[in-house]
Amino acid sequence: MTQNAAKTRSNHALWGGVAFLCIVIAALVFGGIKANQYLQDEQQMPVQVIDFSGDYQYIDITKLERLIREAQPGSFFALDVNDVFRLVEAQPWVYRASVRKKWPNTLKIYLVEQQPVAKWNEDLLLNPYGDTFNAEGKALVLPRLYGPGGSEKTALEGFNAMHALLATTNMDIAELSLSERFAWQVQLKNGIELNLGRQEFIDRLQRFIDVYPLLTQQEKAVKYVDLRYDTGVAVGWKAPRDNTTKEES
């Protein structure tokens, strides 16, 4: 009887331990579920602050914050930083961005804005690297560049080279066109049009700079200069009624 009683007590203790362990596990699971629900609840752990930093002028911060909150309506813990990063960098005026969370309720976003240096084919802008982006209706006074698709970087490199050369004068470029055959045409801010052709366009522009003081000594104003000659240039003059005459020099 003594052995049976001891065995019974041992069995009771074993099952009591198992029951206690089950209760502990159930409590942990229940607590984990409740904790997860709490952390996922926007009302309990909302993203209260979206902190933007960086040097920007054209980015609409109010609109950007609204887009982020609409795309990520959950709690601080549920918010996906990678999704926010992709959303922010998809905005036209954002060149680069970094996104991180800051405990307990802040999303920090650092912005690098696009730097527009020229208009491209009327409806787009170019940044300093020759990448296009949408102007979103911004009225900017910039040089106008035109060319076939895929020639953005070539056109911008040519513009930069010509701009640097013209920096020694009081002239600058208002419009530059690159044809399908990659021939260069330039309109200066003083209204003079230059036809530089396909080859040695920098040397030809230098020839124009050299001859320009002689052209300004004439009584008539210059309308265009064709520099596609091995030697000399062809000059079109503005007549009083804009009837263009032409002569070679």
Q: Are residues 138 and 61 in the same domain?
A: no
CB 160 within 8 A of CB 178: no
Q: For position 24, what pLDDT does the model report?
A: 62
Q: For position 139, what pLDDT does the model report?
A: 82
Is 39 domain-assigned? no
Q: Are residues 2 and 83 in the same domain?
A: no
Structure letter (DSSP) for residue 103: T
> To which H or E segment does residue 23 belong?
helix 2-40
Closest CA to 76 of 98, 96, 100, 52: 100
Q: Are residues 142 and 211 in the same domain?
A: yes
Express the helix, strand and coil content of the chain in percent, nearest 5 each. Answer: 35, 25, 35
CB 115 within 8 A of CB 104: no
Q: How many CA atoms lie within 13 A of 55 on its CB side?
A: 1
CB 97 within 8 A of CB 89: yes
Q: For position 42, what pLDDT does the model report?
A: 45
Number of domains in the chain: 3
* Helix residue ranges, H only, 41-73: 61-71
Is 35 domain-assigned? no
**Final residue before a domain boundary, out of 93, 113, 133:** 113
Is 43 domain-assigned? no
Closest CA to 242 of 211, 227, 225, 220: 220
Q: For position 15, what pLDDT does the model report?
A: 60
Distance CA 209, CA 247 (A): 18
Q: 164: which 2 tokens?
A: 């640097």
Distance from chain centroid for Cα 18? 62
**What is the domain-level CATH number for residue 60?**
3.10.20.310
Q: Are residues 244 and 153 in the same domain?
A: yes
pLDDT, tens digit (0-9, with 9 covering 90-100), for 212-236: 999 999 989 999 999 999 888 999 9
Q: Are residues 22 and 104 in the same domain?
A: no
Q: 168: which 2 tokens?
A: 């020694």
Q: Are residues 107 and 138 in the same domain?
A: no
Give the residues of the chain that fall short of pLDDT 50.
Answer: 1, 39-40, 42
Domain, as residue range, for 14: 1-30
Is 11 domain-assigned? yes
Q: For position 76, what pLDDT does the model report?
A: 87
Q: Are residues 123 and 180 in the same domain?
A: yes
